[in-house]
């Protein structure tokens, strides 16, 4: 059935997974996220990473300073876990309202993860403490074993790491970030209510063919890498199912155009400028526009135990062309959907 509505209004959404970077790139990208979202879970994979409450508080101040004065946006900070993470600093940072969550990057899994965790056994005391205080663990779920095919690294991570982890720490709140496979959907569906997942717009729109359409397409490359069509369809079903265990996390991960268009291009898709419109297209195609608000604005805060936003945002049905690139504060960035058009547009209230 075709949806004939010309406008939809939903509670203002939040982004539960974003890379805002630092320095000049932060200046270039922060406002795109703040324009679309009320709050965002800000990833800590800076160089050097955000590993202490003091560095997170300083980073939060830099984010706020990068936005026009009076912008209504709350960055929610995360702690980058390392092998020698300090349970006391993390727990007290959470209690003090500086750390909303902590992030597990398997060492060398993705951008700026060289200081990540080499073995979950090393951080067990931290995870036990997080479980005790109800602090969520956010997980980049890929094994880093070079012998495992890159398209299998998420599924193998579930078997080797995540499955055992939820058996050992059954009450730990875990967000399985940027899921890309039907195995991840099955895992989340069969786990308890303390396990949730974020889903990006790009993994809902593209499968792995997008990286090779007529040549190599660096702007479609991110980690975890897009998978086969059957996985994309499983993600679309999960996101639009109405299940409270799935929520919006863009994983907007900007890199300068020259770092993407390179012999060794960086992983990451910059989707912040059109994120909500991109999700709306998927929900419309799936006949599920009525479920967009749950996914974008309700399931996330409920999982994190935070209040829902009380302001609203409207999307209007109109042609919304996406430029080939965006110049911002001295950076050139290629947005997701570059050169094509979306059919919804946010109207600012
Ligand atoms: C992210 C980045 O560039 O920081 N890249 C990506 O492809 N998603 C890192 C991450 O989220 O894994
Ligand atoms: Zn990641
Ligand atoms: Zn990410």
Bridge partners of residue 346, in order along the sequence: 315
170-202, pLDDT tens digit by residue? 999 999 999 999 999 999 999 999 999 999 999
pLDDT, residue 1, reads 59
323-342, pLDDT tens digit by residue? 999 999 999 999 999 999 99
Neighbours of ion ligand 2 (CB under 5 A): 110, 140
Atom 4, ligand 1: which residue's CA is nearest? 111
The superfamily in CATH containing domain 14-308 is Metal-dependent hydrolases (3.20.20.140)
pLDDT, residue 4, reads 84
Work out the pLDDT band at 349, boundaries 50, 70, 90: low
Q: What is the mean pLDDT of residues 240-245?
A: 98
199-230, pLDDT tens digit by residue? 999 999 999 999 999 999 999 999 999 999 99
Atom 6, ligand 1: which residue's CA is nearest? 268
Residues 304, 306: Cα–Cα separation, whole Å = 6
Q: What is the mean pLDDT of residues 66-72?
A: 96
pLDDT, residue 184, reads 99
Work out the pLDDT band at 3, boundaries 50, 70, 90: confident
Q: Is the pLDDT of residue 2 over 80?
A: no
Task: Report CA dihedral (119, 125, 127, 129) to the nearest 10 degrees.
Answer: -170
Backbone φ, ψ for residue 133 (5° rounding): -100, 0
Nearest to 124 by CA among 95, 87, 88: 87
Going from the Cα of 325 to the center of ligand 1, the distance in angstroms, rounded, reads 20
pLDDT, residue 93, reads 98
Q: What is the mean pLDDT of residues 274-294?
A: 98
Distances (CA, A) of 120 to 56, 84, 96, 189, 227: 23, 11, 26, 23, 26
Ligand number nearest CA of 17 is 3
Q: What is the mean pLDDT of residues 114-135?
A: 97
Counting residues of the chain whose pLDDT is more than 70, the rounded percentage is: 99
> What is the average pLDDT value for the chain, to the nearest integer?
97
Sequence ranges of the domains in the chain: 14-308
99-113, pLDDT tens digit by residue? 999 999 999 999 899
Work out the pLDDT band at 14, boundaries 50, 70, 90: very high
Predicted TM-score (pTM) of the model is 0.98
pLDDT, residue 255, reads 98
Q: What is the mean pLDDT of residues 153-163?
A: 98
Going from the Cα of 140 to the center of ligand 2, the distance in angstroms, rounded, reads 5
Look up residue 90 and give its two tokens.
């993390």
Atom 9, ligand 1: which residue's CA is nearest? 111
Nearest to 226 by CA among 268, 257, 193, 259: 268
């Amino acid at each position: 059935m075709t949806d004939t509505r010309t406008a939809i209004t939903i509670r203002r959404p939040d982004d539960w997974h974003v890379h805002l970077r630092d320095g000049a790139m932060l200046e270039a990208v922060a406002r795109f996220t703040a324009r679309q979202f009320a709050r965002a879970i800000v990833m800590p994979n800076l160089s050097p990473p955000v590993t202490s409450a003091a560095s997170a508080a300083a980073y939060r101040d830099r984010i706020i300073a990068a936005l026009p004065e009076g912008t209504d946006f709350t960055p929610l900070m995360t702690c980058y876990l390392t092998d020698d993470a300090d349970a006391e600093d993390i727990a007290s940072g959470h209690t003090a309202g500086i750390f909303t969550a902590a992030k597990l990057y398997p060492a060398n899994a993705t951008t700026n993860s060289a200081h990540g965790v080499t073995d979950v056994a090393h951080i067990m005391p931290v995870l036990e403490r997080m479980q005790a205080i109800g602090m969520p663990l956010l997980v980049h779920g890929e094994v880093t074993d070079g012998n495992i095919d890159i398209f299998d690294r998420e599924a193998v991570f579930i078997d080797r790491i995540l499955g055992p982890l939820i058996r050992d720490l059954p009450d730990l709140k875990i967000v399985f970030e940027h899921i890309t496979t039907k195995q991840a959907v099955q895992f989340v569906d069969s786990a308890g209510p303390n396990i949730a997942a974020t889903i990006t717009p790009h993994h809902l729109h593209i499968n792995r063919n997008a990286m090779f359409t007529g040549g190599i397409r660096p702007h479609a490359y991110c980690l975890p890498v897009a998978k086969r069509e059957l996985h994309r369809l499983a993600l679309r079903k999960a996101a639009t199912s109405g299940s409270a265990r799935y929520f919006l996390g863009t994983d907007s991960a900007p890199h300068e155009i020259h770092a993407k268009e390179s012999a060794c291009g960086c992983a990451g898709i910059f989707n912040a400028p059109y994120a909500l419109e991109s999700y709306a297209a998927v929900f419309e195609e799936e006949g599920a526009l009525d479920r967009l608000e749950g996914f974008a604005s309700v399931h996330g805060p409920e999982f994190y135990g935070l209040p829902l936003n009380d302001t609203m945002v409207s999307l209007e049905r109109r042609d919304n062309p996406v430029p080939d690139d965006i110049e911002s504060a001295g950076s050139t960035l290629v947005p997701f959907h570059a050169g094509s058009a979306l059919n919804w547009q946010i109207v600012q209230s």
